[in-house]
Each structure stands twice: as C-alpha cells, then as structure tokens.
Amino acid sequence: MGTVFRNGRLQDGRSVDVVVDDGRIASVGPSDPTGQVTSDDGDLGGFLLLPPMAEPHAHLDKALTSEAVPNPTGDLTGAIDAWIAADERGVFTHDDMVERVDEALRKLALNGVTAVRTHVNAGGGAGTWHLDATREAAARWAGKVDVEFVGLVHTPIVGPGSDDNVAALRACAASGALVGGCPHLEPDGAAAIDLAIALAEEFDTPIDLHTDETLDPTMLTLPLLARRVIDTGLDRRVAASHCVSLGMQTPDVQSDVARLVAEAGIGIVTLPQTNLFLQGRERPTATPRGLTAIAALRDAGVVVAAGADNVQDPFNLVGRSDPLETAALLVMAAHVLPDDAYDMVSNAPRILMGLPPVRFEVGDPADFVAIDAPSVRAAIADAPADRVVVRAGRVVARTETTRTIC
C-alpha cells in the first residue's frame, strides 16, 4: 500500500482519503475515520484539497529589492530605468541574488506553489550571470518546486546595437531557458518576433514574450505574434504575458484577436497586481486597470493564467508570493468568479508550463495543497496561512499558526 493522506475534503464537500503510489494518485475514496495514517504528515485535518498553485510569471532575480532600488516615478519606465542603473552600478552580487531568490522560492513553497516560471534579465553587457545565480538558488528547491527559466534580454535584439543582446539570448536558449523578449519595445517588433521563433526552433525551446505592456491601443503586437506562429507552423509552447493593450480595444477587436490567439494555440498570462501598480498613473480620471481582455480570451478557448509578476521590487512594492493574492485581484479587478480565479493560478499555469493538471483523479500527479478553508471562495478571501503542501506524494511544506485573543 502506498502513502495515505487521510481526512481531506474535496471542493464538493466529500471527506476523502487520498492514496499515493510512486508519486501519483492511486485512489481517492471516502474517508475512513478508523484508518491509520502512515506518518504524522498523513492527517490533513479536514482541510480543503486543491490543485497545487503555480507561478507562471516571476522575476526572481529582482525579488525583494524595493529598498535597494527605489522607483522614482512609480511607473514602468521608472522601474526599468532604476533597475538597469542599479545593475550597472554593481548594486547586486551573485551571492546576494542567490539568497534573495532562495527566500522568494521559500515563500512560494510555503504558500503552496510547486511550479514557477521566472524571467531572468540577460544581455546589456551583463551576459547571463543573473541566470546562473537564479539557477543556483533554484537547485536548492529541487524536488519541491520546479523552476522554468526565460531569458529576458535587454532591447534591442534586432537592428543596430543588438549584437550583445542576441548573443546573451542565444546563450540562454542554448542552456535550456525559454526564449523571452519584448517585441513592443523593439524598433521592429515583427523582426523581433521572427528572431524569437527562429531561436525557439533552433534550440527546441518554448517562447514567453512580454507583449504589449502598455495602455496605448495603437500598440498591438499580439495578433502579429499569433499570425507568425500560425504561418510558420511553430510546434513549441508559446505564451504572451501582460497583453495590456488588448484590454483597451473595442469588444469586436478583442474577440477577433482572441480567436486568432486561440487558433495559434498561444497561452496568455495576465499579471493584475504589478500592472495595477504600474499602469494608468497618467490618467487620474477613470484610470484603466491595466489588465488584458480576460473574458474575451477565455470565451475563445484560450488558456489564460495569472501571476504575480514582480514581488517587492521597483516594479511592484508589495506582494506576498501567494497566488491567492493574485486570485483575489482577479475576482475584484477582472470580475472573474472565484473557482475560475483559482484555476487561473493553479491548473491553467501548469498547462502553460507543459505540466499535467491536477483534478484528484487516479493517475494524476500527487501534487496538491490542503488549506484550512471551507471553500475556494473562502480560501481566496481569507488566504489562510495554515496549509499542507504535497509534491510527488511527499509533504514538502507545512504551516501551522496559533491565533489568540487576549
């Protein structure tokens, strides 16, 4: 008999025992109150069983630098300029970055995250040392948190002044990182997209591009990306992150672009917390929310995931490294129902990262989080700290709190 996790509760209210064998769910059946657990970790205490959370868009190399790198304007340009200036001054060291990334991953793991995709700065004369440091920290979490890396190189990657950045992007891709970039910031967005696709094919790696992170409705490179993926027949996972300007289009344009994105098989990552912080400061009346067209994309059948993006750095001064925080913002700012919001921070990002979803069926990965909440809605509302995190059938994190009124 495999490992038994007793006294969990499914979303439909059933009390169940989960049997795990060889890292996968072997059975899910009615809870046996007389049964013996195989270890102290095996009693889930009636907690709600949910798929593990995943972070589809992090910047771990920047995490926890709010004090070290102030953002003088509060907007995206101010954050970018402040970060580049600090990096060029040598504010960060390899060892410092390793420890910050380690702490960021610790927070994510405790909150129930078992998979992370992080964009990592490269190029601009700095080469790939950020990637090296981030990988060193991530190695400490092997078996607990899967970490996927994206080479986010400085612009430009096409035209004059692009040689060092292209070399860094190639080095990242050659090492197994995804191809990243920001086509909307390039002098020739179409050429930048073509280069990203060419590198993905050359190095057999997926693509995740920062796309249209602006409220300017005239900047819309997402349909260009979708058409190029369709025209080239690219057989790699492709994600477009942010896609803010899509949210500024008319409903008809949103629907047309969403159908094209669905045809291309591109996944979308929306980032409510950081984009709420960065976008719209120049518009004091009816300030836009800085979110993509979530409803239109989901209606078209596009896989839409949600992430935190930056955490306590010049791009976002706050953030708890808890996807339930992101889910709450989806409910409030994007009018997403709680069950859908949780899916957008759990199974949807897993699918984007090429991981199987977890639905508590036989054969599913034995990855889940048990949380002290009566429902998904309550979990999102209260974000209880008390959680048990299971990865491959083994408890990898547990938080127990004591609250006292005196």
For residue 112, pLDDT beyond 90: yes
116 close to 146: Cβ distance less than 8 angstroms: yes
175 close to 199: Cβ distance less than 8 angstroms: no
The one-letter code for the residue type at 202 is E
Task: Please tell me what DSSP assigns to residue 316.
Answer: B
Instruction: Output phi, psi for 172, to 5 deg.
Output: -60, -50
Instruction: Output phi, psi for 118, to 5 deg.
Output: -120, 135
What residue spans define the domains of the chain?
Answer: 3-51+359-399, 53-352
Matching CATH topology for 3-51+359-399 and 53-352?
A: no
Contacts of 122 (CB under 8 A, 6+ apart): 128, 130, 131, 151, 152, 153, 154, 165, 168, 169, 171, 172
pTM of the complete model: 0.97
Taking only the tens place, the pLDDT of each residue in 126-161 is 899 999 999 999 999 999 999 999 999 999 999 999
Distance CA 102, CA 284 (A): 38
For residue 347, pLDDT beyond 90: yes
318 versus 41: the higher-pLDDT residue is 318
Which candidate, 122, 97, 236, places its Cα nearest to that of 180?
122
Which candidate, 387, 272, 252, places its Cα nearest to that of 329?
272
Confidence of residue 33 (pLDDT cuts 50, 70, 90): confident
Distance CA 86, CA 96 (A): 14
151 close to 180: Cβ distance less than 8 angstroms: yes
51 prior amide bond cis, ω within 30? no
For residue 40, pLDDT beyond 60: no
DSSP string, 32-58: -TTPPPSSGGGB-TTPEEEPPEEEEEE
Distance CA 119, CA 207 (A): 11
- Max CA separation in the chain (angstroms): 72
- Using a 10 angstrom Cβ sphere, with 0-12 exposed, 13-18 middle and 19 or more buried, the burial of residue 102 is middle
> Would you state the CATH architecture of domain 53-352?
Alpha-Beta Barrel (3.20)
Taking only the tens place, the pLDDT of each residue in 265-292 is 999 999 999 999 999 999 999 999 999 9
Tokens representing 119 are: 């964009």
> Would you state the CATH architecture of domain 3-51+359-399?
Roll (2.30)
What burial letters (b/e) apply to 210-243, b meaning 16+ CB within 10 Å?
bbbbbbeeebbbbbbbbebbeeeebebbbbbbbb
- In this prediction, residues 338-349 reach a mean pLDDT of 99
Describe the crossing of helices 251-264 and 222-232 by its angle, rounded to 10 degrees: 30
